[in-house]
Amino acid sequence: MPTVSMTVNGKAASGDAEPRTLLVHFLRETLGLTGTHVGCDTSQCGACVVHVDGKSVKSCTMLAVQANGAEVTTIEGLANGELHPMQAAFREHHGLQCGFCTPGMVMSAIDLVRHNATPSESDIREWLEGNICRCTGYHNIVKAIQAGAQAMKG
Ligand code: FES
Ligand code: FES
């Protein structure tokens, strides 16, 4: 079985992975980073979004071996003593209910703001096309992301 090595949340991480092992399973089961969720088996829900080399990626659509040597950030890597501004905005604006979709929403939202520092409501709704929430109706998620974008400027 090949050994896969990557930098995860700023630390070197490695483990054995079969060639067919998905990145999400490597993160959750080999590295124990269970904040990245699996909500579907069809690459639709976005609960598994992480950053690979700075870009948001559905980690159920990528093999662990494809991330060999990459810089990976998961939801666990965002808070640095205090919540990341986007996490704080989701809490402040009630951008979650059950929270299952939230790690993927937050990781996607941060990537959006890196591309577009002041996203409009329609920018956010379009960007989140690949992230499904079964609870909130999305309205508060949009508000949270707009507030998070403002806070990230600071
Ligand atoms: S678990 Fe990856 S998109 Fe649903
Ligand atoms: S808060 Fe429950 S799925 Fe989004």
Question: For 70, left (φ over 0), alpha (ψ -120 to 50), or beta?
Answer: beta
pTM (global) more than 0.85: yes
Of all protein residues, the one whose alpha carbon is nearest to atom 1 of ligand 1 is: 38
Number of neighbouring beta carbons within 10 Å of residue 144: 27
Q: Quick check: 108 and 127 in contact, CB under 8 A?
A: yes
Q: What pLDDT shows up at residue 3?
A: 96
Of all protein residues, the one whose alpha carbon is nearest to atom 4 of ligand 2 is: 133
Q: Which residues of 73-111 are buried (b: 16+ CB within 10 A; e: fewer)?
A: bbbbbbeeeeebbbbbbbebbebbeeebbbbbbbbbbbb
Instruction: Tell whether ligand 1 has an atom less than 6 A from the beta carbon of residue 67.
Output: no
pLDDT, tens only, 87-118? 999 999 999 999 999 999 999 999 999 999 99
Instruction: Tell whether ligand 1 has an atom less than 6 A from the beta carbon of residue 38.
Output: yes
Class of domain 3-76: alpha beta
Ligand nearest to the CA of 137: 2
CATH level 3 topology of 85-153: DNA polymerase; domain 1 (1.10.150)
pLDDT, tens only, 46-97? 999 999 999 999 999 999 999 999 999 999 999 989 999 999 999 999 999 9
Of all protein residues, the one whose alpha carbon is nearest to atom 2 of ligand 2 is: 98
**Domain boundaries defined on the chain:** 3-76, 85-153
Nearest C-alpha neighbor of 52 from the set 26, 32, 30:
26
- Residue length of the chain: 154
Cα 3 to ligand 2 centre (Å): 34
Q: What pLDDT shows up at residue 1?
A: 84
Cα 154 to ligand 1 centre (Å): 31
What CA–CA distance (Å, rounded) separates 120 from 33? 32
Q: What pLDDT shows up at residue 110?
A: 98
How open is the CA angle 138-61-4, to the nearest 5 degrees?
125
Q: What pLDDT shows up at residue 41?
A: 80
